[in-house]
């Protein structure tokens, strides 16, 4: 059963539209990268936390990379806070700041999806988890930098 020429053309148009939407989404995400970097660096510079190891931060990043759920990432951070003080405690903790930033990124995700004309209702969730992954990735790099400063100042 082969498709008619008109059906093939229609499928090509749909595919092109999907590709255009994906390109707009990627462009929208890139527009937020500076904000993501500044936000996580500020959190690591200003919030209260203990002797957080790079590996512990990378574990949170791994969780984000293996799930499509922001709630799973937040749950893991709360679990880490409950284990010890390395992520801090209470509203001024690093973990709480990251959780609040994850929640704030929901609106950024919806804005990117809207500007890209991504009408699929769950598309913003894909954008949201991508923003979270990048945010945490930048945080992991910055923590490495901060740790190297501490070692060299000793």
Per-residue model confidence as pLDDT tens digits over 100-142: 999 999 999 999 999 999 888 789 899 999 999 999 999 999 9
Q: Output the DSSP codes for 51-117.
A: S--HHHHHHHHHHHHT-S-HHHHHHHHHHHHHH-STT--STTBHHHHHHHHHHHHHHHHHHHHHHTT
Q: In the 8-state DSSP scheme, what is residue 122?
A: T
The strand pairing partners of 48, in sequence order, are: 93
The strand pairing partners of 93, in sequence order, are: 48
pLDDT in tens, 4-18: 888 888 888 889 999
Residue 48, classed as helix, strand or coil, is: strand
Is the confidence at residue 70, as pLDDT, over 70? Answer: yes
């Amino acid at each position: 059963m082969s498709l008619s020429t008109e059906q093939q053309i229609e499928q090509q148009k749909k595919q092109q539209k999907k590709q255009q939407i994906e390109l707009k989404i990627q462009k929208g995400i890139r527009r937020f990268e500076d904000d993501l970097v500044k936000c996580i660096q500020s959190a690591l510079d200003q919030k209260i936390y203990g002797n957080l190891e790079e590996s512990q931060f990378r574990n949170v990043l791994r969780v984000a990379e293996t799930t499509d759920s922001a709630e799973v990432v937040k749950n893991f951070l709360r679990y880490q806070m409950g284990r010890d003080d390395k992520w801090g405690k209470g509203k001024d903790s690093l973990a709480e700041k990251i959780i609040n930033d994850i929640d704030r990124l929901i609106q950024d995700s919806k804005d990117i999806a809207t500007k890209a004309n991504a009408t699929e209702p769950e598309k913003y969730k894909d954008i949201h988890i991508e923003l979270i992954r990048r945010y945490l990735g930048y945080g992991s790099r910055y923590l490495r930098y901060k740790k190297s400063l501490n070692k060299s100042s000793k």
